[in-house]
Amino acid sequence: MRPRRSGDRARISGATWILTLGLALTLGLFAGSQPVLAAASVIGIAFAAVVLANITAGLMVFTVVAFLESLPTVQGGPSLAKLFGLFLVAGWAVALAYDRPGIRSSRDFVRFAPALLCSLVLFLAWVVFSFLWAEDVGVAQGAFFRYALNFTLFPIVFAAIREQRHVVWLYTVFVAGGLITSAVGALAPQSAGNVGERLGGAGVNPNELGGLAATAAVMAAVLACTRGLSVPARVTALVASFLSAISLIMTETRGAVVGLVAAMVAAPFLAGRGRRLAAAGAVTVLALGLGFWLSAFAPQNAVKRITDFGPSGSGRSDLWTIGLRMVEDKPATGVGAGNFPVSSVHYLLEPGTIVRDEFIVDVPKETHNIFLQVLSELGVVGLALFLAIVAYCMASALDAARAFARAGAHVMEMLSRGTVLGLVALLVASAFTTELYSKQLYLLLATGPALRAMARWRETEALAVDTRL
C-alpha cells in the first residue's frame, strides 16, 4: 500500500471537518425538537470515537452497558445497550476500513479461524433460508439481524483482546456489570425486571439475571484463585464472587443454580495438572459459604423456591412440550428463525396436557431453553451449526490453556480455563431460560478464539527468539 502523502492527509482532515460541522448542525436541529434523541446521539458518537481510538476500551464499555438493557434512549426506542452495540459495530467497521492500528487482527480472524467463520456464515445463511417457511417473515428477519450483530462480536473481540491485561479487564467489567445490574434491581426495583420478590436487573428478568450472576460468580472466583494477580485484587474478586452468588440466590432461579453447580463440579476436572485438589478445596469453601448464607440469612421463600425442583407451574415444561411437538413436526427445518412464539399456538391442541396455555395464547413466550429453541426454529441443521460454534469456541479456550501451560504463562492458563467454566455455567443455565440472543453469551464464546490466537502468537514469538539465539 502506498504511503499517505501530506495532500492525502489534508484532504482527510478537510473531510473530517466537513463531517464534524454537518453532525453539529444536525444535532443542533434535533436538540430543539428531540433533546433526548440529540443527547443519545452525542453519547453514541462519543462512544464510536472511543472505539475508533481504542477498540479494547470500546469493548469494555460495551460489556458493562450490555448489562443495562432497561436504560432507554427515547420513548419507545431501543435501549442504550442496543445502541452501544450498533455504535460498537459501526466504529469497528470504520476502523477496519481505514486500517487503524490494532485492528488488523480482525482481518487475521478470517485466516486464523476459517472453520468458525464458515460455521457462522452457514448459520446465518440457514436463518435466511428459514424466511421461506417462517410464518412471520418480519420476525425471522429481526432474528437474523440479532444473530448477525452478535456474530460481529467474534472479529471485534479477536481484535480487542490481545494481551493478558485485556483478558483481566474483560473479566473485571463482566463481573462489575453483573453486580451493577443486580444493584439496580435491589435499590430501584421499579426500574428493574423484578418479578414479585425475585430479584431482577436493569431490564433483565430474574431468570436471565440468575444465569449472568452464576457466570459472574465463576469468573470472579477464577480471578480470586489466580496467584499472578495482586492480593488486594484477589480479595476483591473473592468478595465479588460471593456477592454474585448471593444475587443468584435472590433471583430464585433454579436453572442458574444448576449452572453454578455444573461449573463447580467441572472445576476440578478443568483446573489443570497440579490444581485439581486446590480447585476441589475452593469449590468446597464456596459451597459451604453459600450453604451457611442460605441457612442463616437468605429469605425463606427464596430457599424454598430454589430447593424445590418439583413442578412449579411456571409454564416452562409446557413450553418445552410445545417445542418438542414442533421438532416432531418439522425436524429438519424448524418453524423459522424467531417464530417459536408465533407458531406455538398451532401446536397447542394436540394430545398431551398443557397447564399454562396463557404463555402460548395470551402472552406467547420463548422456549426457555436455547438449545430447544434453535432446534424448534431452525431444525437439526441449525442446531448442528450452533453446537459447532459453541464447541469450537470452548475447544479453542482449552487449547489456549494447554499452550499457555506449556509456556509457563500460568495467569493466562487460569483465565483460559476460567472462560470455559464461565461458559459451562451460562450454557447450562441457558437450558432453563431464554439467552439465545444474550450479548454476554457471544462475548464469552468469542473470547475462546481470541485466547487461542494469543497463545499461538506467544508460541510463534518464543520460537522466533529461539531461532535467533
> Does the pLDDT of residue 227 top 70, yes or no?
yes
Residue-wise pLDDT tens digits, 19-54: 444 554 454 544 455 555 556 666 667 777 778 778
- Position 146 scores a pLDDT of 92
Nearest to 430 by CA among 211, 244, 249: 211
Q: Residue holding cell 529461539? A: 466
More confident: 384 or 323: 384
Q: Please, what is the Cα angle at 228 between 170 and 454, to 5 degrees?
A: 50
Helix, strand, coil abundance in the chain, percent, nearest 5 = 75, 0, 25
Q: Residue holding cell 453447580? A: 261
Tell me which of 264-268, 306-310, 327-331 is least confident.
Answer: 306-310
* Angstrom distance (rounded) from CA 361 to CA 64: 35
Question: What pTM did the predictor assign?
Answer: 0.85
- Position 241 scores a pLDDT of 92
3-state secondary structure at position 207: helix
- Position 40 scores a pLDDT of 61
Residue-wise pLDDT tens digits, 362-420: 344 677 899 999 999 999 999 999 999 999 999 999 999 999 998 889 999 999 999 99
Handedness of CA 163, 165, 168, 173 (dihedral sign): negative
* Angstrom distance (rounded) from CA 31 to CA 150: 31
- Model confidence at 461, pLDDT cuts 50, 70, 90, reads low
Q: Please, what is the Cα angle at 346 between 345 and 348, to 5 degrees?
A: 65
- Over residues 134-138, the mean pLDDT reads 93
- Position 360 scores a pLDDT of 45
All 3 cell numbers of residue 298? Answer: 437468605
Handedness of CA 442, 443, 444, 445 (dihedral sign): positive
Tell me which of 68-72, 106-110, 129-133, 404-408 is least confident.
Answer: 68-72
Nearest to 115 by CA among 439, 399, 403, 346: 399
- Model confidence at 239, pLDDT cuts 50, 70, 90, reads very high
DSSP state letters, 109-144: HHHH-HHHHHHHHHHHHHHHHGGGT-S-HHHHHHHH
More confident: 460 or 209: 209
User: Which of 11-15, 264-268, 273-277, 461-465 shows the highest mean pLDDT?
Assistant: 264-268
More confident: 317 or 392: 392
- Over residues 348-357, the mean pLDDT reads 54
- Position 187 scores a pLDDT of 84
Supply the mean pLDDT for the chain.
80
Residue-wise pLDDT tens digits, 269-302: 888 777 777 777 777 877 777 777 667 766 666 6
- Model confidence at 167, pLDDT cuts 50, 70, 90, reads very high
Residue 172, judged by CB atoms within 10 A of its CB (0-12, 13-18, 19+), counts as buried
* Angstrom distance (rounded) from CA 374 to CA 387: 10
As a whole number of Å, the CA-based R_g of the chain is 23
* CB 193 within 8 Å of CB 203: yes
The amino acid that residue 3 corresponds to is: P
- Position 469 scores a pLDDT of 44
> Does the pLDDT of residue 70 top 80, yes or no?
no
CA atoms within 13 A on the CB side of 137: 5
- Position 5 scores a pLDDT of 47
> Does the pLDDT of residue 3 top 60, yes or no?
no
Q: Please, what is the Cα angle at 184 between 178 and 185, to 5 degrees?
A: 90
- Model confidence at 255, pLDDT cuts 50, 70, 90, reads confident
Tell me which of 49-53, 140-144, 458-462 is least confident.
Answer: 458-462
* Angstrom distance (rounded) from CA 205 to CA 211: 10
The amino acid that residue 4 corresponds to is: R
